[in-house]
């Protein structure tokens, strides 16, 4: 079984500005695995306190009308993060998205704050997950330490726009490929979810191109991504799900592996290709993910 099977399936996570009612009202209709109540970039500084006050009502509405998990994206400056957490650590919130992670100490500090709030509010300690967003080269160099910083951390991702700005580059597929692969390596080594897409999520006008990027991202080992526009949700859900053909092929490999084991053989051929343990393990992981996706969508 995959090391990441203990985490929720988050193929798609749609950003929803807390202060824009028309987006909030339609968010649960979009089919996203998760909805991210945004307190960060989409909220002007002067409106952040008012946005925080809206969080409990939005969480209740999302829970009452949809199947999506609920996340809250918080700000990075500590004086803002503390107030964001006071608004976000409530029943019904599944995860907190931590922006501009500086290092493992940063994550552990916020973990301590959230644990204290959970205990004070009668919530199960540790139930709310973290997702860490790495957005600069210094923290990326510590990605493995960050990924292992706390059991509360379910996944990490790279903020392409901020990271590209930090290194003086454009957030293209080519420039982001290496840092995104570093995220995959760090996350999988720590047994957590590698999230995001190769390239940037800023351009949502080219849906065909975006679908290609999502499929390529899945090939590289990424398992889901946040998005800023509802038109991208079905593309993420499809691109980060095994296809029917892949499921059939995996079922065939697993069944033939059982037959080979019963005959005392450790490898076998399928359609002219040698099948051994790593390929069987990939097939088993694919089937486990397919079952997890089916469980959340039924």
Helical H runs in the chain? 21-26, 48-65, 78-88, 104-120, 137-140, 143-147, 160-167, 173-190, 207-219, 233-239, 244-262, 277-297
223 is written with which tokens?
A: 């398992």
What is the pTM assigned to this prediction? 0.92
- Tell me what the mean pLDDT of segment 106-110 comes to: 98
pLDDT of residue 201: 63
- Do 209 and 286 belong to one domain? no
- Whether the CA torsion 200, 201, 203, 209 is positive or negative: it is positive
Whether residues 82 and 54 fall in one domain: yes
Statement to judge: residues 83 and 216 lie in one domain: yes
Residues of the domain holding 46: 3-238
What CATH number is attached to the domain comprising 89? 3.20.20.60
Distance CA 16, CA 22 (A): 10
Q: Does residue 158 sit in the same domain as residue 250?
A: no
259 and 284 both lie in a single domain: yes
pLDDT number for residue 75: 97
Task: Indicate if 153 and 250 belong to the same structural domain.
Answer: no
| pLDDT at residue 297, rounded to an integer | 77
Residue of 261 and 62 predicted with greater confidence: 62
Rounded Cα distance, 3 and 94, in Å:
20
Mean pLDDT estimate for the chain: 93
Q: Which has the minimum average pLDDT: 148-152, 204-208, 247-251?
A: 204-208
67 lies in the same domain as 105: yes
Take residue 141 and report the two structure tokens written for it.
Answer: 């160099």
For residue 193 the two structure tokens come to 């979810």
**Are the C-beta atoms of 156 and 147 separated by less than 8 Å?**
yes
Domain boundary among 220, 238, 256: 238
Residues 197 and 149 in one domain: yes
CA nearest neighbour of 73 among 159, 201, 190? 159
Percent residues over pLDDT 70 in the chain: 97
Confidence of residue 276 (pLDDT cuts 50, 70, 90): confident
Does 150 score more than 50 pLDDT? yes
Backbone angles phi, psi at 159, to 5 degrees: -80, 100
Residues 197 and 72 in one domain: yes
Query: Residue written as tokens 């995220």?
Result: 183
Please identify, among 188, 209, 238, the residue that sits at the C-terminal boundary of a domain: 238
Cβ-contact 194, 156 below 8 angstroms: yes
Whether residues 206 and 290 share a domain: the answer is no
Residues 158 and 289 in one domain: no
**Structural domain count of the chain:** 2
Phi, psi (degrees; rounded to nearest 5) at 274: -75, 130
Residues 6+ apart with CB under 8 A from 12: 31, 32, 33, 34, 224, 225, 226, 227, 232, 233, 236, 237, 240
Mean predicted confidence (pLDDT) in 129-151: 98
Q: Is 53 helix (H, G, I), strand (E, B) or coil?
A: helix
Query: What is the pLDDT, as a whole number, of residue 148?
Result: 98
**How many Å is the Cα radius of gyration of the chain?**
20
What is the pLDDT, as a whole number, of residue 144? 97
| 49 Cβ neighbours under 8 A, 6+ residues apart | 83
CA distance 234 to 14: 11
Whether residues 222 and 250 share a domain: the answer is: no
**pLDDT digit string (tens) for 52-92?**
999 999 999 999 987 899 999 999 999 999 999 999 999 99
Q: What is the residue-wise DSSP string for 137-178?
A: HHHHTTHHHHHTS-TTEEEEEE-HHHHHHHHT----HHHHHH
Task: Express each pLDDT in 196-238 by its tens digit.
Answer: 999 776 667 789 989 999 999 999 999 999 999 999 999 999 9
pLDDT value of residue 1: 39
Domain boundary among 191, 213, 238: 238
What is the pLDDT confidence band of residue 272, given thresholds at 50, 70 and 90? confident
């Amino acid at each position: 079984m995959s090391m990441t099977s203990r985490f929720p399936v988050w193929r798609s996570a749609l950003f929803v500005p807390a202060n824009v009612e028309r987006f909030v009202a339609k968010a649960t209709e979009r089919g996203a695995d998760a909805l991210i109540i945004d307190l960060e970039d989409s909220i002007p500084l002067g409106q952040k306190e008012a946005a925080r006050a809206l969080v409990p009502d939005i969480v209740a509405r999302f829970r009452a009308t949809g199947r999506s998990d609920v996340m809250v994206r918080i700000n990075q400056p500590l004086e803002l993060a503390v107030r964001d957490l006071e608004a976000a650590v409530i029943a019904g919130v599944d995860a907190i998205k931590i922006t501009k992670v500086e290092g493992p100490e940063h994550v552990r500090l916020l973990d301590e704050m959230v644990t204290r709030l959970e205990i004070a509010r009668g919530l199960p300690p540790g139930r709310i997950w973290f997702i860490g967003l790495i957005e600069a080269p210094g923290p990326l160099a510590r990605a493995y330490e960050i990924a292992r910083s706390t059991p509360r951390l379910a996944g990490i991702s790279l903020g392409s726009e901020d990271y590209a700005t930090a290194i003086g580059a454009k957030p293209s597929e080519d420039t982001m490929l290496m840092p995104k692969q570093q995220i995959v390596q760090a996350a999988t080594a720590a047994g957590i979810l590698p999230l995001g897409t190769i390239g940037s999520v800023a351009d949502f006008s080219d849906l065909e191109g975006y679908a290609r990027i999502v499929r390529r991202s899945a090939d590289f080992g990424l398992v889901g991504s946040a998005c800023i526009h509802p038109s991208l949700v079905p593309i993420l859900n499809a691109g980060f799900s095994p296809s029917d053909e892949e499921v059939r092929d995996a079922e065939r490999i697993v069944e033939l592996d059982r037959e080979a084991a019963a005959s005392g053989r450790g490898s076998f051929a399928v359609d002219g290709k040698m099948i051994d343990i790593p390929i069987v393990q990939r097939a088993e992981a694919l089937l486990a993910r397919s079952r997890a996706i089916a469980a959340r969508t039924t």
